Amino acid sequence: MSKTPKDRRYAKTHEWVMKLDDGTVAIGISDHAQATLGDLVFVETPAAGRELKAGESCAVVESVKAASDVYAPIAGEVTEVNGKLVDQPELLNQDPYGEGWLWKMKPAVADDLGKLLDAAAYTSSIAES
Amino acid sequence: MPFIPHTEADIREMLDVIGAPSTEALFDEIPEALRCKGLQHVPERLSEMEVARLMRGRAAQDGTLLNFCGAGAYEHHIPAAVWEITTRGEFYTAYTPYQAEASQGTLQLLYEYQSMMCALTGMDVSNASMYDGASALAEALLMAVRVNSSNGPKRVLMPASVHPFYRSTVEAITAAQGIELVPLAFDPQQGRSLASALQVHEGDEFTAVVIQQPNFFGVLEESDMLTDWAHARGALVVAVVNPLSLALLKPPGEWGNEGAGIVCGDGQPLGVPLSSGGPYFGFLTCRQKFVRQMPGRIVGCTVDLDGKPGYTLTLQAREQHIRRSKATSNICTNQGLLVTAATIHMALLGPQGLERAAAQSVANTQTLVERLSALPGVTPVFTGDRFHEAVLKLPRPVNEVLAALAEHGILGGYDLTRHYPQLGAALLVCATETRTHGDIEHYAVTLAHIL
């Protein structure tokens, strides 16, 4: 059974978004997503400064058996990317909600997270699929 | 495995299962305007007898002339062992087998090939080859745009001294992808791109700068200067090289302060015969940091469960069968047989053998230029240092001279008039290590007679 912490919101496409104290948000992929992909060997993140639209394909996670796009769950500007993933893509498998974060962004609309799923809704969405 | 086509009944059954009325209906989503309505320029079919007669006629024209023509494809000595080994049953196949469990020999050979190309070009990674040099350049530029799209609009500085066929192939492949090719003029005296010509482009942003070394005229470009100029402006350097020349010249990985980022070219000089224009093979090598954007197949070395070395395709998430429409390229195969020949050729000659073939070609071309320039009205066009080709100015139209030489059994070179009318009656000549002093003397005497 995969973990789905309640302190953040989720997109149906398996990204999570968590509000940070400085007004930015951190983005990653869910435990369910990393488990489904298998051992990750490469992660490509968007460049800092890039403006993303909600739903835009902006990152790639590559495992030994598949390469998947990661979509921006909300619109905003990329402020920071997780540089550790270049040499340690396995962080995404080991700690998807912590060390394995993908990028941080400044939301274009302050409270855009409301449109996303809460933990319970995400859990039931992956149960259905 | 026999080839068994589907019968009408098979097709009907499959269509019924998926609920499609006809095979044609499966292509409904392709708009009418994009459909191919017959191939106008392809003639009616010929019978086997007619084809055999036609091909015998063509074959009889092949390889009978004493060859002084290069222009991208070169007659070099190929040891008899190269194709004897290449065409053995273990290697000779209509298709390159990639299954690791069944094809360790082929995969190891491709891995050796990649290692040799990395050593020659000074790069970290090579793919398992491309179709030819011209399409390899186009793929290298598409790759450069993916790697370096942050450096302004998709613009590539393309010297006019790059092979004209390569430039038109690149144009054909990249134009639809919104890539702008900006020409860079060559110096009419030296026959290469000078720093002064770059001043026009000062302040312009480029995704990549192409440097062909030696260039189409056989002249050596100032690759260090051009590389540093490109890097100072955030542009990636894409090198186009003759692999044989690398036995003598500095590898592109060492050009300027940082070296080229991507290297490509045609592998024909490495053991592939001139057979009416092909098939040849292209090569593509790059820096490790660009490997995720590299097109084509890559063979990697690993260890199996018992710790023994093994070979397998790697980094396949770049490719069509995994990434679909987001793949780096539609190239999903390689020129396996020709690469087999090239690998055996390089292994047989070794670094010393390649160096001797290259040095002898340079020396023979020098002798040819000196001998032909002694004739009245024949002069070298460019003063720049050269590899194994040179441009000569003739006192008569080149096509007439070449036709007359052909009547005497000599292929006198490549007519540049069509591509570079500003050079006048200019002929591109080449004398590889296969030409003797007697051959060169024969050419000079015959040319003197014709002029």
Per-residue model confidence as pLDDT tens for chain B (451 residues): 567 888 999 999 999 999 999 999 999 999 989 888 888 888 888 999 999 999 999 888 877 899 999 999 999 999 999 999 999 998 987 677 888 888 999 999 999 999 999 999 999 999 999 999 999 999 999 999 999 877 778 999 999 999 999 999 999 999 989 999 999 999 999 999 999 999 999 889 999 999 999 999 999 999 999 999 999 999 999 999 999 999 999 999 999 999 999 999 999 999 999 988 889 999 999 999 999 999 999 999 999 999 999 999 998 888 888 888 888 888 878 899 999 999 999 999 999 999 999 999 999 999 999 999 999 999 999 999 999 999 999 999 999 999 999 999 999 999 999 999 999 999 999 999 999 999 999 999 999 999 9
Q: Which of residues 131-150 of B touch A (CB under 8 A)?
A: 150
Tokens of A30: 């869910």
Q: What was the pLDDT predicted at B2?
A: 66
**Residue A68: pLDDT over 80:** yes
Amino acid, res. B48: E
Q: Report the residue of A62, A70, A81 to disrupt the B interface, i.e. the one with the largest count of B CBs within 10 Å.
A: A62
Give me the phi and psi of B130, to 5 degrees please: -125, -175
Alpha-carbon separation of residue B295 from A15, B139, B143, B194, B282 (angstroms) = 29, 7, 8, 32, 12
Q: Is residue B55 within 8 angstroms of chain A, CB to CB?
A: no
Query: Which of B292, B322, B326 is facing A66, going by the closest CB pair?
Result: B322
Query: Which of A47, A66, A67 is facing B150, going by the closest CB pair?
Result: A47
Chain A CB contacts of B313 under 8 Å are none
Q: B292 vs A42: CB contact, 8 Å cut-off?
A: yes
Q: Is the dihedral of CA B437, B443, B448, B449 positive or negative?
A: positive
Tell me how far apart the alpha carbons of residues B338 and B283 are, in angstroms, rounded to a whole number: 11
Q: What was the pLDDT predicted at B285?
A: 98
Chain B CB contacts of A69 under 8 Å are 326
Q: What was the pLDDT predicted at B193?
A: 96
Ordered by start, the domain boundaries in chain A are 9-109
Instruction: Please give the average per-residue pLDDT across A32-50, as a whole number.
Output: 92
Tell me how far apart the alpha carbons of residues B51 and B45 are, in angstroms, rounded to a whole number: 9
Q: Which residues, at least 6 apart from B431, have a Cβ–Cβ distance to it below 8 Å?
A: B68, B361, B364, B365, B367, B368, B388, B439, B440
Question: With 0-12 CB in 10 A as exposed, 13-18 as middle and 19+ as buried, what is B35?
Answer: exposed
Chain B CB contacts of A47 under 8 Å are 150
Q: What was the pLDDT predicted at B1?
A: 53
Tokens of B438: 């007697």
Chain A CB contacts of B234 under 8 Å are none
Question: With 0-12 CB in 10 A as exposed, 13-18 as middle and 19+ as buried, what is B2?
Answer: exposed
Chain A CB contacts of B150 under 8 Å are 47
Question: In order of start, what are the domains of chain B with their CATH numbers?
Answer: 66-72+351-450 (3.90.1150.10), 80-343 (3.40.640.10)
Decide: helix, strand or coil at residue B410.
Answer: strand
Report the 10 Å Cβ neighbour count for B73.
Answer: 20
CA distance A25 to chain B (A): 24
Contacts 24+ apart (CB under 8 A), B346-354: B346/B116, B346/B270, B346/B271, B347/B112, B347/B116, B348/B79, B348/B81, B348/B82, B349/B79, B351/B247, B354/B244, B354/B247
CA distance A67 to chain B (A): 6
Tokens of B142: 């598409």
Residue appearing with tokens 């006048």? B424
Q: Which residues, at least 6 apart from B4, have a Cβ–Cβ distance to it below 8 Å?
A: none
ipTM of the complex: 0.75
Tokens of A85: 């993933």
Return the residue of A nearest to B292 by Cα.
Answer: A42
Q: B323 vs A67: CB contact, 8 Å cut-off?
A: yes
Q: Which residues, at least 6 apart from B215, have a Cβ–Cβ distance to it below 8 Å?
A: B159, B161, B162, B186, B191, B192, B221
Q: What was the pLDDT predicted at A1?
A: 60
Between A and B, how many residue pairs show a Cβ–Cβ distance under 8 A?
Answer: 11
Return the residue of A nearest to B322 by Cα.
Answer: A66
Q: A66 vs B150: CB contact, 8 Å cut-off?
A: no
Among chain A, residues having any CB pair with chain B shorter than 8 Å are: 42, 44, 47, 62, 66-67, 69
Tell me how far apart the alpha carbons of residues B313 and B298 are, in angstroms, rounded to a whole number: 6
Alpha-carbon separation of residue B195 from A87, A108, B333 (angstroms) = 40, 46, 39
Chain B CB contacts of A43 under 8 Å are none
- Do the beta carbons of residue B389 and residue B430 sit within 8 Å? yes
Range list of β-strands (E), B161-308 = 180-184, 208-213, 236-241, 262-266, 282-286, 299-303
Q: Which of residues 361-390 of B touch A (CB under 8 A)?
A: none
3-state helix, strand, coil in chain B (%, to 5): 45, 15, 45
Q: Is residue B289 within 8 angstroms of chain A, CB to CB?
A: no
Q: What was the pLDDT predicted at B231?
A: 97
Its CATH architecture, for the domain A9-109, is Beta Barrel (2.40)
Instruction: Please give the average per-residue pLDDT across A72-97, as a whole number.
Output: 95
Q: Is residue B322 within 8 angstroms of chain A, CB to CB?
A: yes
CA distance B152 to chain A (A): 14
Q: Is residue B437 within 8 angstroms of chain A, CB to CB?
A: no
Q: Is residue B326 within 8 angstroms of chain A, CB to CB?
A: yes
Report the 10 Å Cβ neighbour count for B24.
Answer: 8
Report the 10 Å Cβ neighbour count for B140.
Answer: 29
Q: What was the pLDDT predicted at B94?
A: 67
